[in-house]
Structure formats: C-alpha cells, structure tokens
Structure 1
C-alpha cells in the first residue's frame, strides 16, 4: 500500500511524457520519431497557376499531410498522394503533435518530399510561435532556392535559428517562371527560350509548380500536452489509485 501512490504518479508521468516513438524509414530517409514526424495540418494554401494559364487541378493540400505516400514517379495528373502548388503557389503546413527543432550539427533536420516532371524551383521558411509569429528562411548548398526532388535541409544553418528553438510551421513557395528580357530565357525553369511554342516546352500543363507529397521533421520532439488534458490524465491515475485502495480496504 505504501508504494501505490508513487506508482500511480509515475504512471501519470509516463502518460504525460507521451507514447514511445517507433523509428521509421520513408523513401530512404530515417525518421527516429516515426510517423509523428510528419506535418498534420494545412495552415493555408494559395494555389498558383498552370503554365500557359489555368489552375492546377491537383490542389488537395491534405495530400501533403502525414507520412509521405506518393513517390516522385507518381503518374502525372492522377493527383494520387501529392498537391501541386502551381506557378507561384504557397503552402503552409503545421506540426501539431510534434515540434521541429535544430539538431545542433550540420545534419538534415527537415525533409521536404517534392516531385515533378522536371526540376521545380521553390523556397522554404519555418515558423515559430502558436501563430507563426516569426519566420526564418532556409537555405541549402546552392543558396535559398531549392531545385525539386526530395530535399533535406539543415535548419541550424538558417540565419537567426538558435539551439532550443521549436518550430510548428513550414511554408513552401513555388517560384513562378518569367521571361528575362536581358537573356531571352525563362527564369526559374529549365532554361528554355522565351516565346517559344508551348508545345515544345517541358510538359507541366495544368500541373505546374512543385508537387509536395510530404514534409517531415527528422529532428523533433513531441508537442507539450495542454494543461487541461494533462490534468485529466493525472485525475484518472489518482482515481484508479482511490479505487484500488477501496478494494484493498
């Protein structure tokens, strides 16, 4: 009987600490915290336009949530497991049950699973605070513009990111193509000439822009349990203790 209360409190503490994570590997990328690592909520989405006009039809942003399920070889136009941002589209995702944190070294902390029929140019920010009050632009080996495909990012290298920071949001912006009159070439594209017949351009039609099929925090911690929920857990544990004492009384 003398050990019942400490045991109950220990059980409650274990509940508050959250469930133990099971590591997983997704498309060759290791996520030590498992499925909890992936974005859970679409905070906002503003689709861009399809090259040559129109809006990309693959605009179900929920396809970017959870464990990445569509690969870079997904059939174009089937919208199975990815969202097309469109030219100039903006997608903001939120982690709700976990938080992205810097690792303190040069390894990748964030993985953006991106695809497309050819290299797509995009930029990435991470946001801190309940309402993403502050944003930090991320960069890679070639600067702050990423070139499509599954992209790992070291957030420690971003200006202003410090040890101990915890991030809830990831924003992805597709750089729209435009004609550079000085060079006569399309910028943020694969280098085709301006004004050429669209039939001779690399096809992306209405599925323009980078295709996102998952965003995962490689370096992460569980999100804190709200106080009301924590109190209910503790009350439940203590209630079980009272019932145990009555049975043994």
Structure 2
C-alpha cells in the first residue's frame, strides 16, 4: 500500500510541475516556428542512437556523433550543436517533462530541426502513451517496435500534422512520449564525415503534460485472508481488555 501511495504521489507531483510549467511558460520561436509552451517543448532524453542501423555509411566526425546534441532547444552554431544520423541511421528521443499531442485541426504538431547544407529526408515515427495506444490500437505500428509511422520530413519541410494521420480526435486527446527518426539512405546528400540527416532538435509544437505512470492495482484480499484478519483483530482486542483490567 505504501508503494502505491508513493507512486500516486510521484505521478501527482509530475503533473503539478508540468501544469505549472505550462501555466508560466513563455512562448519561444525558432526558425519561424512558435512553441507556445516554451523550451519545455523539446525532447529531453536519448533512448537510442544507431548510425549503422541500415548497415550503410556512418558519420566519422566526432563533433557530429553525440546524440545529446539533439536534445533541448535548437542550438546549432554552424560547427557544433547537431548529430548526424548516418546513411539509414536511427535516433530515438523521449519527452519526459511534456508529451507531444494533437492540435485537433490541420495545424502542424511536430517539428524536426534538420540542419546542414544538404536537404536530406528522414522517416518519422512517434510512440503513443499507454492510454493513446488503447485508443488507437496497434495497427499503426507496422514493424512492432512500439512506434507509429507518420511519414517523413525533408530539410525544407520539417513539420508534421498528427491529425492528418489520426483524424477525428479532439485537441489534446492523443499523447506521444517519444519520436523515432530514421535517415532515408536513398535521399542522402553528399555523404562525407557527416553523412545522413543532421538533427539539431525535435520539438512538440502542441505540447501537453506527460501521462503519469499508473500506480499498481491494489489486490483485493481473499475471503480467507479477511477472516484471518478479523480473528487477529478480535484476539488483539481481548488481549488489550485483559491487560487494561
């Protein structure tokens, strides 16, 4: 029971912090894209980085091989601040203090900041939370990796509308906690030491508080257990009566 209470309290604290961050958030604009919830809108954690995901050419410049460069707000300076995926390479980034959600209309919901001189295509997939998975079903997960494929972006058009894929849902009713990016090896640029799409940041234009971890379901005692508990309480009461008398 104590573990249940602690988990519930942790979930409430996360929700409260996320709500406060949204209430007091200052909108920010990067490259003409406005994020109403400010810098909290961007991915926070690297789940996976595999530049050899498709067994193609991989980046060799160490300045562009740190996946943490894809976290947080865009900060590419021309020499550092991005990570190269590799030809057919993969990166998976999670949102921890917020969640990507749908706008409920044809507005863009997700933006990928891809930098560098070459325009390179990237396949995009997003991971639903448990409640959203229950709502949508697993039919959108074509390869069983937990991510729903939602199309691709290029260096010139790097925003996606979730509602174009999952239509008919009201704003904020769908939550996604991670984004998967896979470089399209057939549409790479010039290759070289930074081959593949160069990712600076991933931001949720429409953002929501994260879905709290569900506390474990408290088991209901069996009738026999309840009977033993009753006998124990009765015995304890008799002992107390005798000692007080």
| 2:164 pairs with 1:157 | yes
What is the count of residue pairs matched by the alignment?
183
| 2:148 pairs with 1:136 | yes
Shift of 1:129: 2.5
User: Within 2, Cα distance between the matches of 1:60 and 1:101?
Assistant: 27
Shift of 1:121: 1.7
Q: Normalized against structure 2, the TM-score is what?
A: 0.65
Among residues 191, 201, 207, which one is paired with 1:204 in the alignment?
191
Q: Normalized against structure 1, the TM-score is what?
A: 0.64
Specify the alignment match of 2:103 in structure 1: 103
CA displacement 1:168-212 (0-9 Å, x = unmatched) = 0100000113xxxxxxxxxx25xxxxxxxxxxxx64312110000
Instruction: Give 1 or 2 for the bigger CA radius of gyration.
Output: 2
User: Within 1, Cα distance between the matches of 2:17 and 2:120?
Assistant: 43
Specify the alignment match of 1:8 in structure 2: none
User: Quick check: 1:115–1:150 contact (8 Å CA) kept in 2?
Assistant: no
| 2:115 pairs with 1:121 | no
User: Within 2, Cα distance between the matches of 1:125 and 1:105?
Assistant: 20
Specify the alignment match of 2:206 in structure 1: 219
User: Within 2, Cα distance between the matches of 1:167 and 1:41?
Assistant: 14
User: Within 1, Cα distance between the matches of 2:208 and 2:153?
Assistant: 26
* Higher percent of residues as helix: 2
Specify the alignment match of 1:88 in structure 2: 88
Structure 1 gaps of 5+ residues are 1-11, 139-143, 178-187, 190-201, 229-249
User: Within 2, Cα distance between the matches of 1:35 and 1:15?
Assistant: 15
CA displacement 1:88-110 (0-9 Å, x = unmatched) = 10010000000111000000000
| 2:29 pairs with 1:25 | yes
Among residues 28, 39, 56, which one is paired with 2:43 in the alignment?
39
SS in 2 for 1:209: coil
User: Within 2, Cα distance between the matches of 1:52 and 1:91?
Assistant: 15
Structure 2 gaps of 5+ residues are 1-12, 134-144, 216-245
User: Within 2, Cα distance between the matches of 1:43 and 1:89?
Assistant: 14
Specify the alignment match of 2:182 in structure 1: 173
